[in-house]
Amino acid sequence: MAEKKTIEETDELTLQFDSNGLLPVIAQDADTGQVLMTAYMNKEALAQTIETGFATYFSRSRKKLWKKGEKSGHFQRVKQILVDCDQDCLLLKVSVDAGQCHAGYQSCFYRELDKTNPQKLNLIAKKTFNPEETYGK
């Protein structure tokens, strides 16, 4: 418990990366409060994010760093980085333009579970850009 308490109460960054050296990260619009996406960071991605001021993640599928927006132009300017109690998750407050999700929406969370039939998804947003134009087919 003593160790746990230290992580929760310390003013020293002591991130708890998982066995793959990764941490989940939430990106939230600093102005509107909208949750935009989640992704992962390793130590290097975080260092690059801090150094450049632009959110840089680690792609688990491509196994490399990616600066968010490097293809789409939809960058994330980092305003604030928060860490959670257990220091195993980060929350980035970011400034963004229109269109953060690679599917063409402002947020990756563009569908809700239907309240009467939760197997069904309701679209709750409109696309803000055409992903085929942005990324090619």
Q: Which of 20, 59, 95, 103 binds a copy of itself (CB under 8 A)?
A: 103
CA distance 129 to 8: 41
Reduced to 3 states (helix: H, G, I; strand: E, B; else coil), residue 39 is strand
CA distance 129 to 95: 18
Of 92, 104, 108, the C-alpha closest to 132 is: 104
Tell me the closest approach of the beta carbon of residue 70 to a copy of itself, in angstroms: 18
Among residue numbers 63 through 102, which ones bind a copy of itself (CB under 8 A)? 80-86, 89, 91, 101-102
Tell me the closest approach of the beta carbon of residue 26 to a copy of itself, in angstroms: 6
Q: What is the DSSP letter of 97?
A: -
Q: Which residues of this protein are in contact with a copy of itself, per CB under 8 A? A: 8-13, 24, 26, 28, 32-35, 37-38, 50, 80-86, 89, 91, 101-103, 105, 108-113, 118-124
